[in-house]
Amino acid sequence: MDTRYDGEKENVDGRFMHIDPNSIAGDHVEVTRRYFLRLGVAGAAALTTSSLWAEGQAKAALEQAVAGLEYLTPLNKFRFAGRGNPPPWQLSEEKRRQVGLTPETWQLEVVADPESNCKIGKPLSKEAGTAFRWDDLMRLAKEHAVRYLKVMTCLNAPSPNGMALWEGVPLREVIWMTQPAGDIRRLYYYGYDNDDPKQRFQSSLSINRVLEDPPGVDPVILCYKLNGKPLSPKAGAPVRLICPEGYGFHNIKWLQRIVLTNDPEPNDNYAKQGLDVDSPMKTFARFVHVPSKAKAGEPTAVTGLAQVGISGLSRVQYWLHRQDAPLPPDDPHFTKAEWKDAEILPPPKNWGSELPGGKLPPDTRHVDPKTGKPHSWPLRYTLAHWAVLLTDLKPGRYDLRCRTIDARGIAQPMPRPFPKSGRAPIHRLPLMVEP
């Protein structure tokens, strides 16, 4: 039985389930403070309701909305996916040991596909007693460990599962241990989902992607830590694969076997389901905090998240449209609508409650080791937070939409609008403005 997993479920109002808008965590106080300082100075002149603004009510509303946003998703709010029945995290400790899902019992095999002509000099296999073990991984980690930020998003879901800091060893270190000799074009890999092989969930990558990283992109890793702590059973313990630019399905949990092959075709479960598995993450925006009702004339706080895909992110925009007004004709993506800019928030100072002191480790990729600040912002394959204060609202029923403009100037859902390569529909929420 295929248990529908969390990543495909959506909250009724389209909000992110892992964000609790009522939990005013201290995390974004600093971001918020700087945001309001700037808005107070630069924005006050532009606001027609500056008297209200001065009262501080509007500020408080937006501050409260923004303060609820946590950057790194706490484990208990992460929407982990899994489709085994029972899922591997529900197994007893004894069973987990038996099937090799504890550090002491874990073995990773890296072997040649018997169906192809690809040859490797030194397969890492259980049969030959040469499988790769936890201690081997920890030894490599001393020299080669890397850490980077990456948002986990299911190809089939309109909103991310969670935003995390991942740590691991570049997979190519282990590939080279097998003495590969050529005639290798891909590798496919899977983990332990269940004793029933029909419940196996498999993904694949080009060997080139694993051996060499595209400019600015981090390595594919054998990952053993999330937000600075060992992977939990739900997160794929003890070891999962992380492909930084990849949608969720590439990031196989409970990893146990990698097969090198000369077969050039993706043989992923997702490919067989008609999905486009050759797709790096897309750029898109979603609302997080939108009140269902607002009062005319009162500034109203709206916040959201944007996933930064392969083409980067330059702007987030919103469009407030009266429900009784016609939609622009022959314009499915509303390119001619009156979009206005929202503000992309700067990087947080406190990255998450699970990191010591809320700080990123000094060797985190794309982060200045001295200041702890990212070299640029927002980073590709992560989330950015955004906010806007709607002013001058007139009574009526509205649809509120948001979209991204990527770093090439292309508006969502272009340049890749087809849902089977990742969901990026323009998010719409209703807003009622009462007199």
Ligand X SMILES: Nc1nc2c(c(=O)[nH]1)N[C@H]1C(S)=C(S)[C@@H](COP(=O)(O)O)O[C@H]1N2
Amino acid, single-letter form, for residue 314: S
Shortest separation between residue 199's beta carbon and ligand X, angstroms? 8
Q: Quick check: 236 binds Mo ion (CB under 5 A)?
A: no
Stretch that binds ligand X, among 53-61, 105-113, 125-133, 250-258 (CB under 6 A): 250-258
Partner whose binding site includes residue 252, from ligand X, Mo ion, none (CB under 5 to 8 Å by kind):
ligand X
Cα 354 from Cα 229, distance rounded (Å): 8
Cα 39 from Cα 33, distance rounded (Å): 10
> How many residues of this chain bind Mo ion (CB under 5 A)?
3
Residue-wise DSSP of 22-62: T---GGGHHHHHHHHHHIIIIIGGG-TTHHHHHHTHHHHHH
Partner whose binding site includes residue 391, from ligand X, Mo ion, none (CB under 5 to 8 Å by kind):
none
Q: Between residue 305 and residue 364, which ones bind ligand X under the rule CB under 6 A?
A: none
| Beta strand residue intervals within 178-270, DSSP E | 186-191, 202-206, 221-226, 229-230, 240-242, 255-261
Least Cα distance to 396 among 303, 320, 304 occurs for 320
Q: Quick check: 251 binds ligand X (CB under 6 A)?
A: yes
Shortest separation between residue 156's beta carbon and Mo ion, angstroms? 6
Site string for ligand X, 11-50 (x = CB under 6 A): ----------------------------------------
Q: Quick check: 412 binds ligand X (CB under 6 A)?
A: no
Q: Quick check: 277 binds Mo ion (CB under 5 A)?
A: no
Count of Cβ atoms closer than 10 Å to residue 373 Cβ? 13
Q: Quick check: 248 binds Mo ion (CB under 5 A)?
A: yes
Amino acid, single-letter form, for residue 216: G
Stretch that binds Mo ion, among 63-71, 121-129, 146-154, 379-387 (CB under 5 A): 146-154
Count of Cβ atoms closer than 10 Å to residue 365 Cβ? 19
Partner whose binding site includes residue 96, from Mo ion, ligand X, none (CB under 5 to 8 Å by kind):
none
Distance, CA of 298 to chain centre: 34
Cα 399 from Cα 329, distance rounded (Å): 17
Between residues 48 and 232, which has the closer beta carbon with respect to ligand X? 232
Site string for ligand X, 107-146 (x = CB under 6 A): ----------------------------------------
What phi-psi label fits residue 144: left (phi over 0), alpha (psi between -120 and 50 degrees) or beta? alpha
Q: Decide: 241 and 224 in contact? Cβ < 8 Å.
A: no
Residue-wise DSSP of 138-178: HHHHHHH-EEEEEEE--TT-SS-SEEEEEEEEEHHHHHHHT
Q: Quick check: 422 binds Mo ion (CB under 5 A)?
A: no
Between residues 167 and 193, which has the closer beta carbon with respect to ligand X? 193
Site string for ligand X, 62-91 (x = CB under 6 A): -----------------xxxxx--------
**Residues in the site for ligand X, rule: CB under 6 A?**
7, 79-83, 152, 154, 161, 191, 193, 201, 235, 248-249, 251-254
Footprint on this chain of Mo ion (rule: CB under 5 A)? 154, 248-249
